[in-house]
Amino acid sequence: MLSEFDLIKRYFAQHSCTDPRIALGIGDDCALLNPSPGMQLAVSTDMLVSGRHFFADADPYLLGHKCLAVNLSDLAAMGASPLAFTLALSLPEANPLWLEKFSQGLLVLADTHRCSLIGGDTTKGPLNICITVFGELPPGSALRRDAAQLGDDIWISGTLGDARLALASYRKELSLAPLEHQLAATRMHQPSPRIALGTALRGVAHAALDISDGLIGDLGHILQRSGLGASLHIDSLPAGPVLARQPLALQRAFTLAGGDDYELCFTAPVAQRAAVLAAGVSSATTVTRVGSIEAAPGLRLLDDFGQPVTLQLTSFDHFSSP
Amino acid sequence: MLSEFDLIKRYFAQHSCTDPRIALGIGDDCALLNPSPGMQLAVSTDMLVSGRHFFADADPYLLGHKCLAVNLSDLAAMGASPLAFTLALSLPEANPLWLEKFSQGLLVLADTHRCSLIGGDTTKGPLNICITVFGELPPGSALRRDAAQLGDDIWISGTLGDARLALASYRKELSLAPLEHQLAATRMHQPSPRIALGTALRGVAHAALDISDGLIGDLGHILQRSGLGASLHIDSLPAGPVLARQPLALQRAFTLAGGDDYELCFTAPVAQRAAVLAAGVSSATTVTRVGSIEAAPGLRLLDDFGQPVTLQLTSFDHFSSP
């Protein structure tokens, strides 16, 4: 069996760590970073557990992609540019084939976003993947959850719900045609972190976060932290292309409380509408206006006619769900 | 059962995050750090798995201490001052008593070293604790593994082997008197990260690392990375107070290949002997000179008479050991 050191060297030593911001990469007690002068550092950690966040037999290439993507998504939601990441990996066994594909999926996405793997840890144990990602942004430009302002528009990047639809299909809760299932599953397995949009929204948007546990719950964090309420035009919510062919009730349920979308939900002043659309264009990312920040606490769901809609939906919570 | 958000708020929101270097702590997509101007950032990650790195029924207070201590030890080994850390936690259940004690053990040590908990992740799953720690140091001052120089003295902080002795006692490989067991077990459960010594050695020592897998294996990393060899005077190795009362063969085995010591092994020029001793005094840490860096590759073990000693010892490896 491969030793811990051989394993790290063979699969995770990136070919070319030529980024001058990385003073020392893998192989010492610590990695050393030289953050760009005057920039603030953004840090986020996500832990993915087999059987909970992914199927035990998940394609390792896609899994490698997704583990880093969900972390990059947190940087995007803050408006930060990727810098580097660490990877801690607990594995039942050192399977060369699995490691090769996993590291490929991970490092291809890392290279795409100029985010160097600078260190980590490997150990034997139940499959668990923990990534901590570092980004940079100018001080004062972060898109914080507590920064929504009264009157702000609420915007969503991309589309929502196809990842949740794929999960429903895997669980046999509904039946999709093979091509539909495949399209939806791609959204579930290969989320695109909205880094380019996030950085383009610096100085344009007020508050932002990424939608991982469902729009209603996640938007609720912005409202709670900002001490405000909101109305959402639920029929304006951009359903994913596969979900858009499903019944309206399912579209509403999965756009509002789907989970695993990794799109940005952000608020911006009405005066910035053109700038938001321009940020969407420059980052090649669709942006859709879906509601408004209001003074009255709570979240109101409105249909196309401006009429209140009552839905029984909850957001995902790791400890209150079974 | 507590929700994920209640859990984080109740047990892990530190009372007073007044460190001006922490621009934004727990609760957003990312934490935001303002590293001190002109300083380099040191980053390290360790993942601890139940049944592998600690007993499943380990005292949660001690476990909280140890998880952070082993990460701070990596900062110490680089000569970095603590700044902040993230915590990712996979738990079979949200047990309030366990969480209260675990977080206490963790945060007391964090406060001692002015190392703020700035973010993390919690999820349901097999018990797994992943910490990423951040420190600061002046550029060019890091104690790197590849920096040993021909003729350097080799030094060890504190004492070695008592943690391994405690493990042997837990495993009933030998029998210790109750008080002896307790003293040795404290070394196993509550390692003291040598932060003060590590920072005092900036500009004094060349190479350093922390001894986690056993001196022979860990010193081997310095030798390999520096392209040099060494002689160790094995009867000069500072055995822990409990181990020092055991037979010589056991002292040699556990000081050389014990593991879990979290002491620093470092090299420094002969001309810096007084400065090393002064760093020991200023940091209230014993330092012992145990050998020399030499040109001939490999590690030679010498007894008190300068005679070569042959021992069959191996270092710990997570994937090659059962």
Q: Which pLDDT tens digit goes with each residue over A113-163?
A: 999 999 989 899 999 999 999 999 999 999 999 999 999 999 999 999 999
pLDDT score for A322:
38
Of the three residues B112, B137, B162, the one that is the final residue of a domain is B137
Buried b (16+ CB within 10 A) or exposed e, B96-130: eebbebbbebbbebbeebebbbbbbbbbbbbbbbb
Same domain, A100 and A120: yes
Which is it for the CA torsion B5, B6, B12, B13, positive or negative? positive
Same domain, B156 and B71: no
In a domain, A267, yes or no: yes
pLDDT score for B61:
96
A30 CB within 8 Å of a chain B CB: yes
Average pLDDT, integer, range B241-250: 94
- Give CA–CA dist A221/A239, Å, rounded: 22
Buried b (16+ CB within 10 A) or exposed e, A49-68: bbeebbeeebbbbbbbbbbb
Q: Is the pLDDT of residue B321 over 60?
A: no
pLDDT score for B314:
52
Same domain, B233 and B109: no
Q: Check: CB of residue B292 under 8 Å from CB of residue B188.
A: no
Q: Check: CB of residue A7 under 8 Å from CB of residue A122.
A: yes
The C-alpha of A6 sits at a distance from chain B's nearest C-alpha, in angstroms, of: 10
At residue B20 the predicted structure's pLDDT band, cuts being 50, 70 and 90, is confident
- Give CA–CA dist B33/B39, Å, rounded: 13
pLDDT score for B19:
84
Average pLDDT, integer, range B198-215: 96
Distance in angstroms between the alpha carbons of the first and the last residue of chain A: 37
Residues belonging to the binding site of B for ATP are 120-121, 145, 212
B interface test, pick of A19, A45, A221 with most B CB neighbours within 10 Å:
A45
Using CA atoms, how far residue B161 sits from A204, B9, B64, B237, in Å, is 58, 39, 22, 10
Who has greater pLDDT, B319 or A31?
A31
CATH number of A42's domain: 3.30.1330.10
B147 CB within 8 Å of a chain A CB: no
Phi-psi sector, B177: left (phi>0), alpha (psi -120 to 50), beta: beta
Instruction: Note which residues in 221-240 of chain B have CB less than 8 A from chain A.
Output: 225
- CB contacts of B88 in chain A (<8 Å) are 45-47, 130, 132
Residue A145 to residue B27, Cβ atoms within 8 A: yes
Cβ neighbours for B192, distance < 8 A, ≥ 6 positions apart = B69, B158, B262
In a domain, A312, yes or no: no
- Give CA–CA dist B252/B242, Å, rounded: 13
Residue A130 to residue B41, Cβ atoms within 8 A: no
Q: Check: CB of residue B199 under 8 Å from CB of residue B79.
A: yes
| Lowest mean pLDDT segment, chosen from B16-20, B57-61, B301-305 | B16-20
Look up tokens 């003291």; give the residue: B192
Average pLDDT of the residues of chain B: 91
Cβ neighbours for A118, distance < 8 A, ≥ 6 positions apart = A17, A22, A24, A25, A26, A31, A33, A84, A85, A86, B43
Q: Which domain holds residue B63?
A: 4-137
Of A118, A132, A174, which Cα lies nearest the Cα of A42?
A132
At residue B21 the predicted structure's pLDDT band, cuts being 50, 70 and 90, is confident
- CB contacts of B320 in chain A (<8 Å) are 1-4
Average pLDDT, integer, range B52-76: 93
Average pLDDT, integer, range B288-311: 92
A135 strand-pairing partners: A42, A82
Residue A24 to residue B122, Cβ atoms within 8 A: no
- CB contacts of A210 in chain B (<8 Å) are 29
| Percent of chain B with pLDDT strictly greater than 70 | 93
Same domain, B175 and B118: no
A208 strand-pairing partners: A266
Of B312, B264, B259, which Cα lies nearest the Cα of B290?
B264
In a domain, B313, yes or no: no
Of the three residues A105, A120, A137, the one that is the final residue of a domain is A137
Q: Where would I find the beta strands (DSSP E) of B50-80?
A: none
B155 strand-pairing partners: B266, B289
- Give CA–CA dist A293/B185, Å, rounded: 56
pLDDT score for A35:
86
Average pLDDT, integer, range B137-147: 95
Query: Is A146 assigned a ligand-binding role in the annotation?
Result: no
Residue B40 to residue A51, Cβ atoms within 8 A: no
Residue B87 to residue A4, Cβ atoms within 8 A: no
Residues belonging to the binding site of B are 29, 44-46, 53, 74, 120-121, 145, 210, 212-213, 260, 316
- CB contacts of B209 in chain A (<8 Å) are 28-29
Same domain, B150 and B294: yes
Q: Is the pLDDT of residue B316 over 60?
A: no
Of the three residues B137, B167, B200, the one that is the final residue of a domain is B137
pLDDT score for B320:
47
Instruction: Note which residues in 102-131 of chain A have CB less than 8 A from chain B.
Output: 118-126, 128, 130
Q: What is the DSSP letter of A236?
A: G
A92 CB within 8 Å of a chain B CB: no
List the single residue in B with minimal CA-CA distance to A32: B42
pLDDT score for B152:
98
- CB contacts of B50 in chain A (<8 Å) are 125
Q: How many domains does chain A have?
A: 2
Same domain, B172 and B280: yes
Q: What is the DSSP letter of A24?
A: E
- Give CA–CA dist B218/B220, Å, rounded: 5
pLDDT under 70: residue ranges of chain A: 1-5, 8, 14-17, 312-322
Closest Cβ–Cβ partner in B29, B35, B89 for A78: B29
- Please state, as a whole number, how many other Cβ atoms lie within 10 Å of the Cβ of residue B78: 30
Q: What is the DSSP letter of B36?
A: P
CATH number of B265's domain: 3.90.650.10
Of B48, B129, B201, B75, which Cα lies nearest the Cα of A31?
B75
Same domain, A15 and A103: yes
- Interior angle at CA B125, CA B322 and CA A187, nearest 5: 110
In a domain, B308, yes or no: no
In a domain, A316, yes or no: no
